Structure 1
Amino acid sequence: MLFFVLLSPAIAADTTQLHVISARVLVDGEEVMAPNIRLAAGHPAYISISDENKEPLYSLEVEVFPGFQIQTIEGTALQAVIWKGPFQHGVQLTEATLIVSPASAGSGPMSSKQMGPDGKSVELQVISYATEDVATSSLNLDRKSCVDQQGRIEAAPQTAQNGGCCGGLCAPPSTNWYQCCNVTGCCVCGRCCIVP
């Protein structure tokens, strides 16, 4: 019994906080993606929607920074970059930072709306935000970048060597594809995947 009591604090300390985010990306008022993701701080998530030829239409990069404070506002800073086309090689539509917290859940979506370089409005909405603690040993957090030199998510999803990516074909009637990287789980365009 004494042995178990000594191990309990070590087990509890070996957890990682995951950030669970439900978001929408709108361009000129039209939804182009609505990802639901689970990610850890310090590991930027990459989500893309591609056409039937797997050419990226829109790409979203999300990173979270817990313990953020501006004057009296405390929470998690959610930084996002939205691209038309592939990451870094497409047209950057906007870069936004929102401060979110589980306490703000239920108060309606938080959003950042800006004009893109083509004059169209680009909006990032955070519909919901929560955190959950999971055993660190169950996560694959030792990942390298999963975006190739052309700004595309590595081609072979669901392999740890490619940065822990997953994805597939969007739900019918869409012929688009989705890919997610550096997340533990991801739902986009009516389909979901879990990174092993």
Structure 2
Amino acid sequence: MTTDHIGDVTKAFIDYVDHNALHAVAPENVLIEAFLNATAAEAAEVLAHLEDDDIERHLPRVIVHLIRRLAAAHKNPTPDAVAYEAQNPNLGIANQPSHLRIVKYITDVYTSQIKGDLWSVAERVAADAYTRRVGEDCERLAQIALTNVTAAELEHHIKTNVERWRDHGKRLRRITNHDNAPTNLKAVA
């Protein structure tokens, strides 16, 4: 083996480890891990404040959809329950990932060493979604403003977006101010 080849292999290995470390701490992945350790009631309570599109990436969004189905059926969202639910070919999910891909993802997230509190990580995910949504909407508003649109039409688009942002902000505050949120837990004497 040449020195250059050993250097390339070492760099590839370091890149792989770095990627996995970043993957493990991504808030959406930590949220999935927390859901996989929650009861059906705990999951349902948090999911009442999260929308599926708060999850940016497709695969974690699919897992949240599966967890939502399980919680609605009063079933704990354990890794095996989610994997079993994923076998259903009629989940109503566009571009449904393969069962193998879902199982690999669940295994990867569940066995990570990064553990998160369900409420605090839900707050992070909702906050990330809020800032992402505002940024995307502002870009769209700027694009609309550059078209041949009337002032009344532009105001309508702005009003619609502001209402969405307010609704999302209210959901975020309900998560932040929830009794089980870490900032609201009472100290045990």
Could you tell me the TM-score, scaled by structure 2's length? Answer: 0.29
- Higher helix content, 1 or 2: 2
Could you tell me the TM-score, scaled by structure 1's length? Answer: 0.28
